[in-house]
Amino acid sequence: MVALLGFGFWKGWSGGPIERPPGELAPDEPEQTEVADLPPFEHQGFRITPLAEFRIEARVLGVERYRFGREAQLSPIDLALGWGPMSDSAVLGRLDISQSNRFYHYYWKDEPPIPPPAIVRSSANMHLIPAAADIERRLERLRPGSLVVLRGKLVQAEAGDGWNWRSSLSREDSGAGACELVWVDEAVEQ
């Protein structure tokens, strides 16, 4: 009984998804500019190497928080984000979207609402590294349906034992290695 009450409190507190009208709410593609002159820096025992400046305005499709493991220490939250047609409620209403194990999944019944390559080009799972505690708090308040602007860098993270995690630099890829690893300098909910 206590567990059910706790779950009900958490669900009520989290607020659930935000309903949005049909139409592209975040029409623009992410902006990415490669960098060659930004030096690596240390963060929580990791060496962070900037690969590209990055800015995205998108609709949150899913939020997944992580508490355990090396990746969670660096990136405690993943956002599945959509822009262009994947920010449109008419498209999203015909997809089932989920996240697990650092992946974002989408399914449809019968026919896809848009061609599958357009789904890949207009959405992504992003592993977020908050630059500061206040940014992490802002990210944790997001929920499906939120509109957000993120500004920062796509990065590679390395540990002293040889472990590394590298961001994708393409919006055309899918599957393992296709997620963006984003150092978040700014997060603004619209």
Place of tokens 């308040």: 141
Q: For 121-179, how does the pLDDT look when each residue is reduced to its tens digit (9 = 90+)?
A: 999 999 999 999 999 999 999 999 999 999 999 999 999 999 999 999 999 888 888 89
Which is nearest to 128 in space by CA: 173, 178, 187?
Answer: 187
Residue 36 pLDDT class (50, 70, 90 cuts): confident
pLDDT at 3: 45
Flag whether pLDDT at 15 surpasses 80: no
In this prediction, residues 30-57 reach a mean pLDDT of 95
**What's the CA gap between 178 and 174, in Å, rounded?**
5
In this prediction, residues 27-47 reach a mean pLDDT of 94
The answer to whether 139 and 18 are in contact (CB under 8 A) is no
**DSSP assignment string, the chain:** -HHHHHHHHHHHHH--PPP--SSBSS-SPPEEEE-SSPPPEEETTEEEEEEEEEEEEEEEEEEEE--SSHHHHH--EEEEEE-GGGGBHHHHTTEEEEEETTEEEEEESSS-SS-HHHHHHTEEEEEEEESSHHHHHHHHH--TT-EEEEEEEEEEEE-TTS-EEE----SS--STT-SEEEEEEEEEE-
Flag whether pLDDT at 8 surpasses 70: no
- Domain-wise residue ranges, the chain: 31-189
In this prediction, residues 19-39 reach a mean pLDDT of 94
Q: Where is pLDDT greater, at 3 or 186? A: 186
Q: Where is pLDDT greater, at 1 or 165? A: 165
In this prediction, residues 18-35 reach a mean pLDDT of 95
Residue 67 pLDDT class (50, 70, 90 cuts): very high
In this prediction, residues 77-84 reach a mean pLDDT of 98
pLDDT at 14: 55
pLDDT at 23: 96
Q: For 83-129, how does the pLDDT look when each residue is reduced to its tens digit (9 = 90+)?
A: 999 999 999 999 999 999 999 999 999 999 999 999 999 999 999 99
Give the fold, CATH level 3, of 31-189: OB fold (Dihydrolipoamide Acetyltransferase, E2P) (2.40.50)
